Every structure is written in structure tokens, then in C-alpha cells.
Structure 1
Amino acid sequence: MALIALDQTITIALSVKDRHRSADWYREVLGFETIVHIDDAGWSELQTNTQNVTLGLGEHVEPVPGNCVPVFGTADLDNARASMEKIGIRFDGPTVVIEGMVKTATFYDPDGNALMLAENLMASPS
């Protein structure tokens, strides 16, 4: 049994210089559709051709090629993080909360690879 409960979503996060240009490239080349551009947060998200797998584009002045971070969805990030920290899993700073949107926390595997947990804070449409 797993230590924490994940939902069935994965976002693959990449660092890019220009999210809008990159989103266009992924649409034209791979057929991905833009879900959202959140300019205030420097974030864009695209639906891949795989169910429940999205591509997140984080805008950075100097992106690092190969810096890919898998983001695993969870319904209760605070509880998941507490359980992981209890057994010594290292996190990178405090949990980041963008009110009404998302809560995220970056952690590391035994080899130092960055992974992230995300809790969706957006209200589901009725």
C-alpha cells in the first residue's frame, strides 16, 4: 500500500522562455490543446493526447533544458506532505498556494530528482 493517496492525474512541467510561443509549438507539432494561460503566475497548461496527463509550461528567464518535473495530483496535499516528511522525504521550501487555483510542493527522490505534488483548489463546475 502506498504512503500517500494520489489521484489519477499527472502534469509534466517544463521550463520555457515564452509560454505562449511554446504552447503554439506543442499545438502545431503534437496536437496539444491549451487549457489555460495564467499570466500572473507565469504558467500555461496544455492537454496532451493522453487522458489525465497535461503539460505545464513554467515561464523562466533562463530555462534549463532537461528540467522536467512530474507533478502528481493529490486531494490532500497537506496530509500527503506530512506523511512523507515523517519518514524523511526532503521538500524544497514551504508549500506554495495560489489561492483559488492550486497548492504545490516540490520534493526529491533518493537520487535528487525533483517531483511535485499538486492539489487542485479550483471549484468544480456544477
Structure 2
Amino acid sequence: MPLVSLDTTITLALSVRDRRASAAWYAETLGFELLHHIDEAGWSEMRTKTEGVTLGLGEQAEPAPGNTVPVFGVADLAAARAALEGAGVRFDGATETIEGMVRLATFYDPDGNALMLAEDLTGG
């Protein structure tokens, strides 16, 4: 039995220099649909052609090329984090909350690959 119960969503988060330009590129090139730009968070999100999979574009002054972080949806991030920490999984700092939007926590697999948990706070 897994330590954490994931939902049926995944976001692939990419670091980009200009998320609006990147969103336009993904729309024109791959046919992804813009869901929203969240300026205060430096974040844009797009619907891919795969059900339950979105592409997140996080704006960074110096993005890390090739750095994709899978973001797994969970219903209760605090419980999921406690279960993973109890099993010795290493997290990167405190859980981040963007009020009314999302709660996020970055953690690492045994090889140091970054993964993230996200709890939807939109009520949607």
C-alpha cells in the first residue's frame, strides 16, 4: 500500500524566462490551451492533450534547462507530507501556500530528483 494517495492529476512544471512567450509557443506549436496566467505567483498553466496532465510554466530569471518537476495532486498535503517524512523522504523547506490557489511542497527521490505535491485550494 502506498504511503500517499495521489489524485488523477499531474502537472509538469518547467522553468522559463518569459512564461507568456512560452505559453504562446506551446499553444502554437503543440496545441496546448492556456488555463491561466497568475502574475503574482510568476506562474502560467496550460492544458495538454492528455487528460489530467497540465504544463506549468514558472518564470525564472535564469531557468535550469532540462529541469522538469512532476507535480502530483493530493487532497491533503499535510497528511501526505507527514507520511512521506515519516518514511524518511527529504523535503526542500516548508510547505508553501498561495492563498485561495494552491499549497505546495517539494521533495526528493533517492537520486535527488525533485518532485512536488500540490493541494488545490480553489475549491474546484
TM norm structure 2? 0.99
Unaligned runs of 5+ in 1: none
Are positions 1:118 and 2:118 aligned together?
yes
Residue 42 of structure 1 corresponds to which residue in structure 2?
42
The size of the alignment, in residue pairs, is 124
SS in 2 for 1:36: strand
Residue 79 of structure 1 corresponds to which residue in structure 2?
79
Residue 88 of structure 1 corresponds to which residue in structure 2?
88
Q: Which amino acid aligns with 2:123?
A: A
Q: Distance in 1 between matches of 2:87 and 2:23?
A: 38
> Could you list the runs of 4 or more consecutive aligned residues of structure 1 that deviate by over 6 angstroms after TM superposition?
none
Q: Which amino acid aligns with 1:50?
A: T
Q: Distance in 1 between matches of 2:69 and 2:121?
A: 20
Q: Give how far 1:116 is off.
A: 0.2
Residue 68 of structure 1 corresponds to which residue in structure 2?
68
Q: Give how far 1:74 is off.
A: 0.2
Q: Distance in 2 between matches of 1:47 and 1:70?
A: 15
Q: Which amino acid aligns with 1:110?
A: P
Q: Give how far 1:29 is off.
A: 0.3
Q: Distance in 1 between matches of 2:76 and 2:123?
A: 15
Q: Give how far 1:87 is off.
A: 1.1
Q: Which amino acid aligns with 1:100?
A: G
Q: Distance in 2 between matches of 1:123 and 1:117?
A: 17
Identical-pair percentage: 67
TM norm structure 1? 0.97
- Measured on the aligned residues, the alpha-carbon RMSD in Å equals 0.4
Deviations 1:65-104 (CA, angstroms, capped at 9, x unpaired): 0110000000000000000001110000000000000000
Q: Distance in 1 between matches of 2:80 and 2:55?
A: 23
Q: Which amino acid aligns with 1:37?
A: H
Q: Which amino acid aligns with 2:7?
A: D
